[in-house]
Structure 1
Amino acid sequence: MHESMDCIGVVTGDVVSSTSAREPGRVQETLSRVLNEVALANRSGMVRDFAVYRGDGFQGVVTPEGALRVALHIRMSLLAEFRGWGEKKLDVRMGVGVGRVDALGESPGQSRGEAFLLSGRGVDELSVKVAEKRRLAVRTPWEPFNRAMVPQCALFDALASGWTDRQSRAAGFALQECGTETRIGELMGIGQSTAHKHLAASGFWAVEKFIEYYERSVRELVSGEEHPHD
């Protein structure tokens, strides 16, 4: 069954250095679990749940406005898992694509359109930029917005690269809007003051600003409103 939609968001990604992990099977198992958890936590923004390909590749269909939040939630959750293993090389790269859809199938692999092409190109670009260690790319039909997102994605990558597993997990819970720092602490088995320290050290306030900018901009662009970078 296919559905017709004007504009969608697509998140495509894969795990970096998964073949070097001591337990490759654990990587695949963790990836599938985290993607399911993220889909459940972002149910209102999901269009098609994530499918896992080739063991460490994945793709999901989301709303245009919610695409970045979902992608960052995946990154935070996987970093929390991978850093906890003590394997610093493990990470995830993702391409966020926003655009038209020609055919939307029951799974991402059965779908096609501009958003899928842009998301895939984003991942391909990250694959050849090894020296820069870029992990996130956003591609849309609006080039001025794309250019504005490049330095913001780079700054997020630089910020996230220094996170510990607990900072990543605290940021992931905060992104789910789990409530107060006290509640985040309860979920992590730590006190409120420690949860506050993890969030402050992660620079989560800057991540919130990044997401707010993306959501506001995409909402305006999709609706045809004037955008400050046009």
Structure 2
Amino acid sequence: MIAVLTGDIVNSRKGETKNWLTALKNVLSHYGAEPKDWEIYRGDSFQLSVKPENAFIAAIHIKAEIKTTTSLDVRLGIGLGEETHKADKITESNGSAYQLSGEGFDLLKKQTLAFKLHNKELTQELNLMLALLLLTADRWSNTVAEVIKTVIEHPEKNQQEIAQILNKSQSNVSEALKRGGFEEIMNMNKFYQAKISVL
């Protein structure tokens, strides 16, 4: 089983392309090599494949990266399934994970992130939790997004060390994590990982 994230930049024409494109390439490169594991296509669309257990946090990471550098946002469909054909370019690979990811993305209307799995009950459960989480995440300021992005990129570091990286006070970091709902994000990640480990 693999996870495929299919996404695009919301209102990309409003933002300076160089800003969001650099940010997007930067975050995607954390998860593999271009074009085998990720690719940007049709201007502002992209696809990424990751291990299933990393899919949720990767989606949050991408969202935080884009919101750190721009006033834009991303839409992401996360599909979990099989990969029946692995090509040199991710956009030429195939399998149910790719189809589910595309279907999940096509369903995005009011919500910016959505899961699509073969298991309908779990899909519903995860998307309900995502909807609640996005009430906060969709409104992240650049500052909150930057702190969340940095914590995801440095999971081994404590708040004091994160504060030093960002040249902020530890209380500012703590406040940003609270405002961004980071504890709830990590709780959902644990829940998500536990649920998919038995699929």
TM-score (norm 1): 0.80
What CA distance in whole angstroms lies between the structure 1 residues aligned with 2:48 and 2:89?
8
What CA distance in whole angstroms lies between the structure 2 residues aligned with 1:141 and 1:114?
9
Higher mean displacement: 154-163 or 134-143 = 154-163
Count of equivalent residues: 196
Letter in structure 2 aligned against 1:164? S
Q: Is the 8 A contact 1:27 1:56 kept in 2?
A: no
Aligned to 1:163: 140
Name the larger-Rg structure: 1
Aligned to 1:136: 113
Deviation at residue 178 of structure 1 after TM alignment: 4.3
Residue 35 (1) aligns with residue 28 (2): yes
Aligned to 2:56: 68
Aligned to 1:8: 2
* Residues 63-119 of structure 1: CA deviation (Å, up to 9, x unaligned): 111111111111111111113xxxxxx210001100011101122112001000000
Matches within 5 A, 1:58-207: 58-83=46-71, 90-126=72-108, 129=109, 132=110, 134-176=111-153, 177-207=155-185
Aligned to 2:37: 49
Q: Is the 8 A contact 2:24 2:62 kept in 1?
A: no
Percent pairwise identity: 29
Deviation at residue 192 of structure 1 after TM alignment: 1.3
Q: Which runs of 4+ in 1 moved over 6 A?
A: none
* Residues 203-222 of structure 1: CA deviation (Å, up to 9, x unaligned): 1111111111111101111x
Residue 24 (1) aligns with residue 1 (2): no
Name stretches of at least 5 consecutive residues in structure 1 with no aligned partner: 1-6, 84-89, 222-230
Name stretches of at least 5 consecutive residues in structure 2 with no aligned partner: none
What CA distance in whole angstroms lies between the structure 2 residues aligned with 1:174 and 1:27?
20
